[in-house]
Amino acid sequence: MAVRHPVRSSDRPLPALWLMTDARMGTGLWPALARLPRGSGIVLRHHDLPALARADLKARIARVARRRGLVLVDEATPRDAPVRIGRAHSVREGIAARRAGAALVFVSPVYPTRTHPGAPSLGPLRAAMIARAVGLPAIALGGMTRARFRRLRAMGFLGWAAIDALTPKRR
C-alpha cells in the first residue's frame, strides 16, 4: 500500500529509522546514536530521570543530533518537535494523532517487547490495518528488528523504531 500523504515534514524527509531512548540503555545510548544513519530520528523518553538530569541528557543528545544530521523529538514536548509524532495502539488513537497534527504515527506494539513484558501485541496484520486506517506515514514499534521491518515495509510502513535492536549488546 502506498502512503497517501507525503513523507515529508516541512522541508525535510521524515525519518524511516527511529531510536527510542530508554534508561535501560545505559551507556549504550552513545554508540547507538553514533550508528544511526544520517536523517534518522531519536525519540527522547527517559521518563524516570529527574528534571535537571533529563534536561542535561537532552542537551547532550541534541548536540549529537545536530552534528550527525539526526532528528530529535522529546516525548515530553512533542508539539515543539521538528517532526510532530503521534502514537497509535488503535485506529481511534491514530486518528486522534492525525487530528492533533501529527506528521507520522508510531503503531505499537507490533510484536512482544521487553519494554512492556506480557502486554498483548498487535501482530503485523492488525498493525498494518491500523496504519492504513489512520492514513499517515506509519512507523512500526515494538519488538522490531531490521528483518521484521522488511516484511512490514511491504504492508505499507514507512519505517521502524526500536530500543534493543539499535543498542549495542553489552558484553
The mean pLDDT of 58-70, rounded to a whole number, is: 97
Percent pLDDT > 90 in the chain is 75
What pTM did the predictor assign?
0.89
Distance CA 16, CA 139 (A): 7
Distance CA 88, CA 142 (A): 12
Preceding peptide of 109 cis, ω within 30°:
yes
Distance CA 91, CA 98 (A): 10
pLDDT of residue 44 exceeding 70, the answer is yes
CATH of domain 15-166: 3.20.20.70
β-bridge mates for residue 124, sequence order? none
Distance CA 134, CA 130 (A): 6
Residue 159 C-alpha from the chain's centroid: 9
> What confidence tier does 155 reach under pLDDT thresholds 50, 70, 90?
very high
> What confidence tier does 80 reach under pLDDT thresholds 50, 70, 90?
confident
> What confidence tier does 2 reach under pLDDT thresholds 50, 70, 90?
very low
More confident residue, 53 or 2: 53
Tell me, what's the pLDDT at 56? Answer: 96
Tell me, what's the pLDDT at 6? Answer: 42
Distance CA 2, CA 165 (A): 26
> What is the bridge-based pairing of β-strands 41-44 and 71-74?
parallel
Where are the domains positioned within the chain?
15-166
Residue by residue, what is the 3-state secondary structure of 5-60?
A: CCCEECCEECCCEEEECCHHHHHHHHHHHHHCCCCCEEEECCCCCCHHHHHHHHHH
Tell me, what's the pLDDT at 170? Answer: 59
Q: Give pLDDT tens digits for 82-129.
A: 889 999 999 999 999 999 999 999 999 999 988 778 888 999 999 999
> What confidence tier does 11 reach under pLDDT thresholds 50, 70, 90?
low
Grid coordinates representing 114? 521487553
Tell me, what's the pLDDT at 117? Answer: 82
